[in-house]
Chain A
Amino acid sequence: MHMIRRLETAAGNLYKEKLIRGFCHLYSGQEACAVGMKAAMRPQDSIISAYRVHGWTYLMGVEPVGVIAELTGRQSGCVRGKGGSMHMYAKNFYGGNGIVGAQVPLGVGVAFAAKYSGTDGVCLALYGDGAANQGQIFEVYNIAKLWDIPCIFVCENNGYGMGTSAERGSASTAFYTRGDYIPGIWVDGMDILAVREATQFAINHCISGKGPLVMETMTYRYSGHSMSDPGTSYRTREEVQDVRQTRDPITSFKEKILTAGLVTADELKKLENDIRVTIDEAVKKAKTDNEIGLDELPCDVYSAPLEPTVRGITPWNNLEHKRLGPAVNLH
C-alpha cells in the first residue's frame, strides 16, 4: 500500500512538472482495495480494471520503474511508452482500459476462458460507481449468471464518478445489490483485511460453482478524478481531510500491526525508506530514459502482419511494419 501511495505521489508530481501528459488517474486513498484483493488472488486468477490502475500494474508484477517510465512515455515503461497511464498490461492483468465500462464484459470473457480451459481461475472485473450504470455491465451480469461464469464484479465505490457524486448519478447507490439475481457483498474498502477476507469469500464462491458475485468496496480517492481535476468543486476540502485523518487505509493498518506487535516502528521505518529509495530511483530513470525510436511507431499493429509496410503521412514515406512484442496468443 505504501509503495502505491508513494508511486502515485510521484506520478502526481511528475504530472505537475509536465513530464506526464494526457490523463493521469491516481489511486491514493484506495490502496486497501487493490492490495487486499491481490492478497487473496491465486496465481491462476486474473484481474481487469479501468484507468485508475498504476497500483494494480505494480501489484501484478511490474516494477515501479516500469510503471513510472510508462507514465513518462519512455522505453523502460512496461509497454515501452506506447500505452501510457491507461494502457498497462502484465501477466493475468488485462489493463488498463480507457472506455468506461468496456472492461467489464472483457473481464467476463477472461473468466469465461478460465472456465472453458479448466484452469480453475476467476477474474476480478473492476469498475467504479460511475461506471456501475453502464448498460453493458447489466448485459454481462445476465450472461455471467446464465452461464455460471467465475467472474467477480468489483465495484470500487469511491463516492464520485468524476465530479458527480454517487447520489447524483445513481438512482440506487447500493451497488452491491445492482446485480439483482447475482448475490452481492459490501466491504469496507479502507480496511485491507476486510477486503482480503471478502475477496477470499468471493473467490471461494465462484470456484465452488456458485457462479458470479458482486463485491462493492466502499473507498475514497484523495485526488480529483484525474490530474486535471483539483477535486474541490464538487466536494469540500474538509471531507477529504476528514477521510485522511480518520480512515486512511495505510495509517489504520499501520496502527493495527504496530499495536499488535507484529512489526516494530523501526522495521516500518526501514520499509518506508526502502520504498522511498525505490521510487526515487524509478523517477530518476523515468525522467532521463529515452523514448522509443520512430521506427517503433508502425510496430506491432498486427501480430501477423500481411503487408510489409504501414501507410505513412504521405504515400512517399511508408513505414516498415516491425514485430517486436511477444504476442502471447500467437499460436
Chain B
Amino acid sequence: MVTLSTGSVILVNVAKFLTRRAFSTSRIVEAQQMTVRDALNTGLDEEMERDERVFLLGEEVAMYDGAYKISRGLWKKYGDKRVIDTPITEMGFAGIAVGAAMAGLRPVCEFMTFNFSMQAIDQVINSAAKTFYMSAGKVNVPIVFRGPNGAAAGVAAQHSQCFGAWYSHCPGLKVVSPYTAEDHKGLIKAAIRDPDPVVVLENEILYGVAFPVSDEAMSKDFLVPIGKAKIERPGSHITLVAHSRAVELSLDAAKELAGEGIECEVINLRSIRPLDEETIVKSVIKTNHLITVEQGWPQCGIGSEVCARIMESEAFYHLDAPVIRVTGVDAPMPYTKSLELAALPQPHDIVRAVKRVLNVK
C-alpha cells in the first residue's frame, strides 16, 4: 500500500475543503492504494480469521507463499491445518475440496491457473454445481474455486485460455471476474461467505496493478455483491461492457475517445453468472449503442451471451446499430510477442470499433 505522508494529505484536503461548497467527506481520505494481489491476500486473511471452517488448498499456496504470491504470509499465520500444499493432482484435490464442502467446511480451492482446472472440471460441474439441485435442496456446496484466468504474457496456447464462458454456462455455479482491487477484495470475501459454489476468475496481469481503495473497502466486512455490475465511467454515446482486464482496455479506449468528443459508458461486469442484465439494458437504453469487450475467444463467449440478452430485451428497440463483440482472435495463443499482441484486443481495436459502430471517421 502506498500513501502520501499524512501531514501533506491533510493540508491539501483542508484547502480543497475550504474552497469547495458541496463535498463528500469520504473522498478526503481516498488516497490509499492497493494492488489486486494485496486485496486478495487481505480478503483471504480476513475471511480465514472470521470463520474457522475456511481453509485454503492448492499447489504451492503454503510454503511457497503462492505461485503468484496471493497467499503470501497466510501459512505463517494460520499453519498447516488451514493453508495446505497439495500434490500436482487437480482432480484429486478439487474432489477432496468439494467433499469437504459437502461435509460443512468452507474450502478455497486454488487452481494455479484455470487452464489446469480442466483436469478437475468434472468435480466442479458434476459434484459441486449440480449436487444441491440433485439432492432437492439438501446438500449445498459452499466452495470457492479461484485462480488466474485467461491470457497472461508469453505463456503460449495451453496457459492462456479464458474459462469465463465454460463456467458461466452452468447453472448451480456463481462466476465472478473482478477488475479493481476493491472488486477483488469484496468479491473474494462475498464468494467465501456464499453458501453455493463460486468460481473466482482472476487475472495474472492484474495482480500487480495498484488501484485507489476507499475507506469503506478497508473494512473487514466490506463485500461486493455477486451479480452486480459497476459503471466505471459514465457516458452517453456508446456502452462498452467488459470483465476483468478487458475493463482496463475499455477504459483506456474511452479516455482516448473522450479526447475526440466521444463519451463511452464503461460497464465493469464484475460477475458473469449471474450477469447484471439490468445494468446493461439500462445503459443501452441511454446510449443506443453497445460493444462487448473480452480477451476470450468469440464463439459462445461472454460477448455472445450479452448480445443474446440484449436481443431478447427491451434494449433491442433502442439500438441504433447492431451490437459488436470485440474479442480475442479465434485461434490458440501464439508465443511470438507481436502475434500475441495481435491476438488480443488492444485499446486501439476498441477505439476503431467504437468509431465504426457510431459511424464516425
Contact = CB atoms under 8 A, between A and B. Distances in A.
A184 interface: no
Given A143-B92, A300-B133, A116 B55 contact: yes
A325 B93 contact: no
A106 B196 contact: no
Contacts of A135: 91
A324 B137 contact: yes
Residue among B87, B131, B135, B313 with max Cβ neighbours from chain A (10 Å) = B135
Contact of B103 (A46, A95, A97, A104): A46
Residue among B86, B92, B126, B131 with max Cβ neighbours from chain A (10 Å) = B92
B142 A109 contact: no
Contact of A105 (B96, B135, B172, B227): B96
Contacts of A327: 132, 137-140, 195
Q: How large is the interface on B (under 10, 10 to 19, 20 to 34, 35 or more residues)?
A: 35 or more
B89 A143 contact: yes
Contacts of B92: 105, 108, 136, 139-140, 142-143
A109 B174 contact: no
Contacts, number: 179
Main secondary structure of the interface of A (DSSP, over half): loop
Contacts of B91: 105, 135-136, 139
Residue among B97, B104, B126, B313 with max Cβ neighbours from chain A (10 Å) = B104
Residue among B55, B92, B96, B101 with max Cβ neighbours from chain A (10 Å) = B96
Contacts of A315: 312-313
B63 interface: no
A108 to B, nearest CB: 5
Interface in B192-251: 194-196, 225-227
A106 B99 contact: yes
Contacts of B262: none
A306 B136 CA distance: 18
A53 to B, nearest CB: 13
Interface string A130-161: 00000110011011001100000000000000
A123 B105 CA distance: 15
A97 B127 contact: yes
A272 B138 CA distance: 33
B227 A307 contact: yes
Contacts of A79: 134-136, 138
6 contacts: A105-B95, A116-B55, A146-B87, A304-B195, A326-B138, A329-B102
Given A113-B105, A325-B137, 8 more contacts: A108-B92, A113-B99, A136-B89, A136-B91, A136-B92, A139-B92, A301-B171, A302-B174
Interface of B: 53, 55, 81, 84, 86-87, 89, 91-105, 122-123, 126-127, 131-142, 171-172, 174, 194-196, 225-227, 274, 312-313
Please name the 5 residue pairs, one residue from A and one from B, whose CB atoms are nearest each other, closest first. Answer: A325-B137, A109-B99, A105-B95, A139-B92, A300-B137
